[in-house]
Structure formats: C-alpha cells, structure tokens
Structure 1
Amino acid sequence: MFDFDSQVEDLISGSRVSERFRSGKLVRVVGLTLEAKGILAPLGAHCQVENLDYGTLVDAEVVGFNDDILFLMPFADPGGLGPGARVWVRSNHSKAGLGNCLLGRVINGLGEPLDGKGVLRYEDYLSLEGLPINPMERGLIDTVLDTGIKAFNTCLTLGQGQRLGLVAGSGVGKSVLLGMLTRNTVADVVVIGLIGERGREVQEFIQQTLGADGLAKSVVVAAPANISPVLRLKATHLTHLIAEYFRDQGKNVLLLCDSLTRVAHAQREIGLAIGEPPTAKGYPPSVFALLPKLIERAGVGRHGFGSITAIYTVLAEGDDRSDPVVDIARASLDGQAMLSRQLADAAHYPAIDLAGSISRVMASIVSPAQLNSANRFRRLWTLYQQNQDLIQVGAYESGTNPDLDEAIKIRPGMEALLQQLGDECVSLSDSQTFLNQLTGVQV
C-alpha cells in the first residue's frame, strides 16, 4: 500500500533525495551567480562547490532556480571555480547557534567569532528566519524608554518595543547619534548589526562607542561592505534572531541595525543577479517584501516576555527623503528621526529636524500634560524656523505674532534642549523638567 505521508517525509528529510540529487555540477557562472545542474535543494539550502584551482570547497547558498538549474550565491570570491566543478548540498536549512555565550562577543553572519576569544559553545540552534508572533499575542507598548538624549526624551519620546528609523544623508551624524543611543539607552541586552558599512568602523564602534563595560552586555554581528551580499543578509537575520532569543528570555533588548539601506542593497544585488525585474531606483520587488518582514521581527514580545526596541539607520541617498527605502521604512516603523544637513552644517548636533520627525507611540505613553508641553515646544520651534530669514534681516516687527515673540525669546533655551554633546547623558526626568520650564507648562 502506498504511504503518501512517509514518502513526503522522506523527501523533506532528504533521505531519498540524497541518493540521486544531493550532488551536481557547475554549468555556468554569471557575475555573482553560480548555476548548477543535477542537484535538488530548496531555497536557502547551504551548498559547497569544488574549487578546481585550490582543491578547496566554496560555500554558497541557493537563492533561486529555473527548471532544473539552481542559482547559487557564493559566500566568498568565486575565483578558481570552473565548468563541471562538483556541487554538494551541505544542509537544507539555514540555522544559527544561540546562547548566553554570545554576550561580549563579535561574530560574523555565520555565527563564527571574529574577536579571537575562542570557540562559542552554543546552547540551541534555530532557523535564521525566526518564528512570527501572532499579533493578538503581542503586548502593548506602554513603558517609556529613557534614551539619555534630551531631544528624544522630550519631543520624540520612545517606548520599550518601539521601532525607530534614523533617516539622513551621508555625513550628518547618524553614526554618532546611534552611538549615543547605544551608550545611554536603558536595556538588559544590546544586539548590534553592522551591515554593509566600512570595515574600520567595526573596531571603532566597539572600542570608542561601546567600551569594555558596554561590550559585556552586547553582541556585535559584523558584515562589512566587502563581503558577499548573501552573508550581509545572513548577518541581518542573525542579528534579529539573537535579539529574539534574549527577548524570549524576558530581557528588554536594544537592537541596533546600521544600516537598513545596506540590507536593501544586498537584497538588490541578489535579486538583480537572479533575474528579478528592477523597479523604483533599480530595487527589485523582493526588497520591498524583505524590509517590512524584517522590521516586524522587532517589537514587544508575547505577554509576559521581553521586548525588542529596534533602531535602524536609513540612508537618504542624495538627501532624497522620497527614496524608496526611506518610504518603505517610514511606512513600516513606529517613528523616525529625520536628520537635517542644514542643522549639521550649523554645528547643531544631534541634527534632528523636528518638522519631519515623529514618535507614533508617544501620545499613548506620556501624560496629557507632558504631551501638551512637547507639542507647544514643537510649534514654537517650527514657527521660528519658518520665519528665520525675516528675523535675521530685521524685517519682523515685534508684537505682530505673540507666539513668534515667545519663540524668539526662548530660542537659546530651545537650542540648548535639542543640542547635546556626544558623551553627555541626561535622564528622562531631567529632560522633561527642562522642557516644562522652557514652555511654562505645569505638569
């Protein structure tokens, strides 16, 4: 009698596939893509390709297929690969090791240590993709998060489990602001993904931003720009998986990803290499499917568990705030801090532009009086910015607009509230007291 269930189980486990289709041969290499024939493996499978020149094996991942041709993306430079090279399936699934041993360590996208501190002894292995949480089982964002930065603590108050984007062009202080958030934000565990950035920044971030004390409660996943796009994506998924692991232990996790735009670039490289059609600014559809899925992995966990507060840097290329990645990030995140080149050029740091910035959960986590104070500050700040040219040339006549008169009067105080030194930390209560004294709102 034919047992359908057992046949399917055999196919899934690979026991029958291994007899005929667990190895094949390389038939074509185009750009970043390897094409193999005679091998059966699912998307995401880990394969190894024979390097004919060096007699070694090159790791690769299945990223697509067409009929009986598998498309693979190598983890390293494909130099030395030739026609007819043997291809083997190593594993049908991408899993990663997890455990408390990760704290204080620096690893790559495969979970391998980069810091020379010895072998990691993992306690568990889980799929890189993680498991989605039923939205009805998620807790609510109801606790204010102290970031130690006055501008956030007053006008852009964040909550534990919120997802925030730092949006800016190049060279306006995203990395410095990210470093301030890393040092000052109250969290049990910090998980940092340095994705697609300059290699020298990894060491700088660890030594200058984290320091020995900060690293002790942190995990750093590094995938610089000079490595394969598939490894950059793996590092991104691993960063989120580690954060989920500690969240499910009841920890309040701070997840930092620098940068979401480089993640999109990695997916674009893969998508275009396997023949996806380019859409807006050359991004294939898979990019716009990946980013919301990735962002949804952060947030508050199930009731009684911990939370993941996620902060993503988003590069607005050419200072274009309508960039497709910026648009999808703003639509998926719980708020954004827009950084202004005009403020940065005036040495106003952090260069947060309140006009384009918002925390979507602020109204539900602060008191009505505190919200009123923040809104009044924003109105006065925006009013001054809109009339700055008139004021500077002396064309504004005092008494014409009482609110503008008030904004001019407290302008130095407003700048003092929004500006902060990189090594300065101001508590939530002190920040809000400063704001209320400035606006005259009684709380």
Structure 2
Amino acid sequence: MIDSLHDRFSFIEKSISGARTHDKIGTVKRVTGLIIESEGPEVCIGQICTINSERHNESTEAQVVGFLENKVLLMPLESVHLIHPGCNVISKKNSNSVPFGNALLGRVIDGMGRPIDGKGPLMSQTRNGFYAEPPNPLKRKLITEPFSTGIKSIDTFIPMGQGQRIGIFSGSGVGKSVLLGMIGRGSEAEVNVISLVGERGRELREFIDNDLGPEGMAKSIIVVSTSDQPAPMRIRAATLATALAEGFRDAEKKVLLLMDSITRFAMAQREIGLAAGEPPASRGYVPSVFSVLPKLLERTGSTDHGSITAIYTVLVEGDDMNEPVADAVRGFLDGHIVLDRNLANA
C-alpha cells in the first residue's frame, strides 16, 4: 500500500513539474522613440517578449533593455508600426537559447537564429545557452601553436597563434571585409563562425559569392544583422556568433570567429543605452559600451577543449586611431593589423 501511494505521488509530482505554466503577461503603456514601456510582465534583462496586437492580429518581438520604476523598458526586434497602448506583452520561455550543431554549417541565419538563406528550417535538435561567462583565466591554454590564415603576407610577417584575438583597424572602404573573406576561405580552421553586424544588405551576397566562395562557405556559419535592423538585433548577431563559436570550441574544434565589425556592435549598444536613459560620455558613447565590449571579447580564446581564434574589424571613424572604440578595443585585444588608406589607394 505504501509503495503504491509512493508511486502515485511520484507520478503526480512528475506530471506537475512537466506541466506547461501560464505565460506571464504585461500591457504596453507608452511608446517613446525606440523604447516601449510596459506594465509587467516579470522578466529579466535581455529576455525576449512577444507583443501581440489584437487590433491588427499581428505580433512583434522585443527585448528587455531596462526598468524604470515599475515599468519594463523594451526595444523592438522588428517594426513598431503595429504597436499601440494596450497590446499584450508575453514573456517567451527559452528565449536565450540558440540552435547548435553541424547542421548549421553552410547556413546563413539572423540574430534570432532563424535561417534566411531559403534552404529550409534548421535540422539541429540541440540548443546551447546564448549568454556565457568567459573561461577561467587560469584554465586558458597558452598561445604556443601558430594559426595559418592562408595569406602569406600575414603568416610570414605578422603570424597569428591559435586562440589569439586580433583587430583589423582601418577607416571605411579600405578592404577589411575583403581581407576577412580571404582569411575565412584559406585558413586552417575546422569551423568558421562569421558575424556581419550592421553591414549593408547588398554586401552579404558579395561576401558569400566573391570573398568567401563555396569552399569557405562549406565550413562556415554566417550570422547577419544588416544596418536597417534595430540595435538589439545587431547586438544579438554578435552575441549569437560568439555563443556558436563557444559551442564548437567545447566540441574540441579549431574555430575561427570573424566579426565585421565590433565598432557597429558598440554603436548598437550606444543606441540602446541612450534610449534607456544612460548619460552620454565620449562622442556620445554610454558607459555600458565599455562594459559589454570586454565581456564579449573575453569569451573567445583557447581552453582545454579547443580554441577560438578571433578576428574583429574595427571601423575607425575619420581614420582617427584614438577615437573611443578603437582606443578601447586596442587594449582588449592581443594584436592589431592596421590597413593604411594611402597604401590602399596607391
């Protein structure tokens, strides 16, 4: 009898723990510029919510970026044209997990992990965490092995090491994206994770067809957020690419992370910070910019499982190497390549 009751209670406990709970719901109270103010739901910073408009029978996704008194501050990941006071705000479960696996190789996805290449849905059944802490400093492997980029001038005169983090600094139109494509095509990496943050839409096809090529694309995952998309989507493109690279590193792969550009990531964070009420500092950049940059960059590198060799392009405003983002990023990275406009125009 006791065993029977114990089995019955165990069954009930499992049923309750596995039951779907009701979504937490809030209500839109105000939309000001890029910020949507909502009364509820109970959410955390970075969580994704769905905003439903019963009036238009449409929905929009938004990300929690802050709190003001009893209000939740959200920024849209899509158009805000259909949002109005009274819309329901529903928190999404598992909104910060990402698809992962070899099924992603050769695919192009957006900052939410959704395919945009017309090749059908992703077949990956595994999901990894979106946010992660950097590896323990004492568990990082020393940089002792060379990393071949496939570009003789770099490999000969300024060789890179596995797990190193390098910045390519230059103004606009000097050739950063072309150089990234050449490295992605010719490097010895087993997996390329490429993040295109805030780029022009037409450049994506050119990068895939002309710079990366079929050989490079076969071992690559491209995460894209173009310049017309909201700032949270540009932030997510960079963060998602880093999370994917971490997953392959933990699977004992030799990973190459290419990000174009870290400057536009910083600009997106500036947009979010200013909209959420942060005070502007140097050239309008808010303090949170210089907080999130090292958190993102420190997630790469080598561990006992594998390595992430990371190359970030840095768009230098006005060719000023001492502008705030270039100056800050230079201190976080392990090495620097500077492309000279005079040589490019020669």
Instruction: Please give the TM-score of this superposition, normalised by the length of structure 2.
Output: 0.91
Deviations 1:68-112 (A, max 9, x none): 100001111100211122211122651111111101111111111
Mapping of residues 31-42 of structure 1, within 5 Å: 31-42=33-44
CA distance in 1, matches of 2:44, 2:179: 41
State the secondary structure of the residue aligned to 2:288. helix
Partner SS state of residue 67, structure 2:
strand
Distance (whole Å) between structure 1 residues aligned to residue 40 and residue 176 of structure 2:
48
2:183 alignment partner AA? L
Structure 2 SS opposite 1:42: coil
State the match for 1:336 in structure 2. 336
Q: Secondary structure at the match of 1:39?
A: coil
8 Å CA contact 2:231–2:268 kept in 1: the answer is yes
Q: Give the partner amino acid of 1:132.
A: P
Contact 1:52 1:82 in 2 (8 A): no
- Partner of 1:91, secondary structure, is coil
Contact kept, 8 Å, 1:24 with 1:88, in 2: the verdict is: yes
Q: 1:183 Cα shift?
A: 1.8
Q: Deviations over 1:371-411 (max 9, x none)?
A: xxxxxxxxxxxxxxxxxxxxxxxxxxxxxxxxxxxxxxxxx
SS at structure 1 position matched to 2:167: strand
TM-score using structure 1 length:
0.72
Q: Deviations over 1:180-239 (max 9, x none)?
A: 212222111111001100011111111112222221111111111111111111111110
Alignment partner, residue 294 of structure 1: 296
8 Å contact kept, 2:185–2:215: no
* Larger-gyration structure (1/2): 1
- Corresponding position of 2:271: 269
Count matched residues: 329
Question: What value does the CA root-mean-square deviation take over the aligned residues?
Answer: 1.8
Q: In structure 2, how many angstroms separate the alpha carbons of the residues matched to 1:296 and 1:93?
A: 23
Distance in 1 (alpha carbons) for counterparts of 2:229 and 2:181: 24
CA displacement 1:147-168 (0-9 Å, x = unmatched): 2223322221110111000000
Question: 1:142: which partner in 2?
Answer: 144
| Richer in strand (by share) | 2
**Partners of 1:280 and 1:234 in 2: how far apart?**
24
1:85 to 74, 84, 87: 87
Aligned residue number for residue 192 of structure 1: 194
Q: Is the 1:199–1:224 contact (alpha carbons within 8 Å) kept by the matching residues of 2?
A: yes
1:340 and 1:231, CA in 2 relative to 1: closer, same or farther beyond 3 A?
Answer: same
Alpha-carbon offset, residue 67 of structure 1: 1.9
Aligned amino acid, residue 289 of structure 1: S
Q: Deviations over 1:346-371 (max 9, x none)?
A: 1xxxxxxxxxxxxxxxxxxxxxxxxx
State the Cα distance separating 1:171 from its structure 2 match: 1.3
Q: Give the distance between the partners of 1:199 and 1:249, measured in 2 at CA.
A: 32
Q: Verify the 8 A CA contact 2:192 2:219 in the aligned structure 1.
A: yes
- Paired amino acid for 1:292: P
Deviant stretches of 4+, over 3 Å = none
Equivalent residues in 2 for 1:177-326, closer than 5 Å: 177-301=179-303, 303=304, 305-326=305-326
Contact 2:182–2:212 under 8 Å retained in 1: no
Cα contact 1:41–1:92 (8 A) shared by 2? no
Q: CA shift at 1:53, angstroms?
A: 4.8
Amino acid at match of 2:228: N
1:133 match: secondary structure: coil
Q: Is the 8 A contact 2:178 2:207 kept in 1?
A: no
Q: Could you tell which deviates more after superposition, 130-139 or 86-95?
A: 86-95
Q: Tell me the distance in 2 between the aligned counterparts of 1:264 and 1:83.
A: 31
More helix by share: 1
Q: Deviations over 1:286-328 (max 9, x none)?
A: 1101111111111112x2x211110000000011111111011
Partner of residue 5, structure 2:
none
CA distance in 1, matches of 2:65, 2:106: 32
Letter in 2 for 1:266: A
Gap regions ≥5 residues in structure 1: 1-12, 347-443
Equivalent residue of 1:205, what SS? helix
CA distance in 1, matches of 2:87, 2:25: 10
- Which consecutive unaligned segments of at least 5 residues does structure 2 have? 1-16
**Aligned equivalents of 2:117, 2:345: Cα separation in 1:** 37
Matches of 1:119 and 1:77, distance apart in 2? 23
Provide the rounded CA distance (Å) in 1 between the counterparts of 2:109 and 2:208: 12
1:121 aligned onto 2:120? no
**Contact 1:164–1:334 (CA<8 Å) still a contact in 2?**
yes
